[in-house]
């Protein structure tokens, strides 16, 4: 099938994207957000499905049966998605009653202006670049809509250069971090969510704090409970598309790597860039962090 064949990425406003996404870009750019929309934004391979399941469960008051009603990509439509023969993301969202949950991977500068005009609530989930790179490499290999990733070393070079779908990880997390100063954005960290799931409590007022919290539930206990839930609805997703377990540095093809290990390469690449003000990421790329 044509839409499953590997194709080179195209560029829209300096950001690499899939060709079919670019072809329908006018519909994305003119998308009309609603005041009660909640936007879930991530860089690819950063826990998008996990946070989507959590928020959908919160919206359904913890009712697992309601969360089994459909696959996650129908419960939380992917706004910029476009695939021949299927409804694109904007068309799908137009049919969804309010309040809507909306998924995107777009960098902050490409988000349709209507989201800012409507002062929509937003959640941004960030994940460390090292694990993102490994997971993205495996995803490139599986999903044929991507160009051929080549070897791990070749892909890592493209990832660091921002020549993968959705561009630079660094610019993505930085752009959304800076934007939260002026808008209702709850900025979260994948690694913090993993700690909570392992039994460690995460203070709601810590890294995820936001004076204009986009969730209706603000009690620490409530949110920690939801972080550990949402396992059952994944069976609905698995009936529709294959699931790849979250990849990390432990799944890296070290035996094929003939260059400096990924951690050092990424640290050297991003370590010289300006630090992101007030952004702290433990054990991440050169503390892509904060003053």
Active-site amino acid positions: 105
CA distance between the termini of the chain: 50
DSSP, res 143: -
* Max Cα-Cα span within the chain: 52
User: Which residues lie below 8 Å from residue 10, measured CB to CB, with a gap of 6+?
Assistant: 16, 17, 18, 19, 22
Q: Could you give the CA distance from residue 288 to residue 185 in angstroms, rounded to a whole number?
A: 20
Residue 120 in contact with residue 35, Cβ under 8 Å?
Answer: yes
CA distance 146 to 21: 12
DSSP bridge pairs for 40: 103, 123
């Amino acid at each position: 099938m044509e839409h499953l064949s590997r194709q080179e990425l195209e560029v829209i406003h300096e950001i690499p994207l899939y060709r079919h996404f670019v072809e329908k870009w006018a519909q994305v750019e003119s998308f009309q957000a609603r005041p009660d929309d909640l936007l879930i934004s991530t860089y690819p391979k950063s826990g998008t499905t996990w946070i989507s399941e959590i928020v959908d469960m919160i919206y359904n008051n913890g009712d697992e049966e309601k969360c089994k009603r459909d696959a996650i990509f129908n419960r939380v439509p992917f706004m910029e998605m476009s695939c021949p023969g299927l409804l694109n993301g904007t068309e799908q969202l137009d049919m969804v009653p309010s309040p809507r949950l909306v998924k995107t991977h777009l960098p902050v500068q490409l988000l349709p202006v209507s989201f800012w005009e409507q002062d929509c609530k937003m959640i941004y989930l960030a994940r460390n670049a090292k694990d993102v790179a490994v997971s993205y490499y495996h995803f490139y290999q599986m999903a044929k809509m991507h160009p051929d990733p080549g070897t791990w070393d070749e892909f890592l070079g493209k990832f660091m250069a921002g020549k993968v779908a959705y561009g630079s990880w660094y610019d993505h997390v930085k752009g959304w971090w800076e934007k939260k100063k002026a808008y209702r954005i709850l900025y979260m960290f994948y690694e913090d969510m993993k700690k909570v799931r392992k039994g460690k409590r995460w203070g709601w007022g810590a890294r995820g704090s936001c004076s204009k919290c986009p969730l209706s539930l603000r009690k620490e206990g409530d949110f920690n409970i939801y972080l550990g839930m949402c396992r059952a609805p994944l069976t609905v997703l698995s009936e529709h598309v294959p699931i790849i377990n979250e990849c990390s540095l432990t799944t890296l093809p070290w035996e094929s790597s003939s260059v400096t290990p990924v951690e050092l390469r990424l640290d050297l690449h991003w370590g010289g860039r300006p630090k992101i003000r007030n952004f702290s990421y433990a054990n991440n790329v050169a503390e892509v962090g904060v003053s």
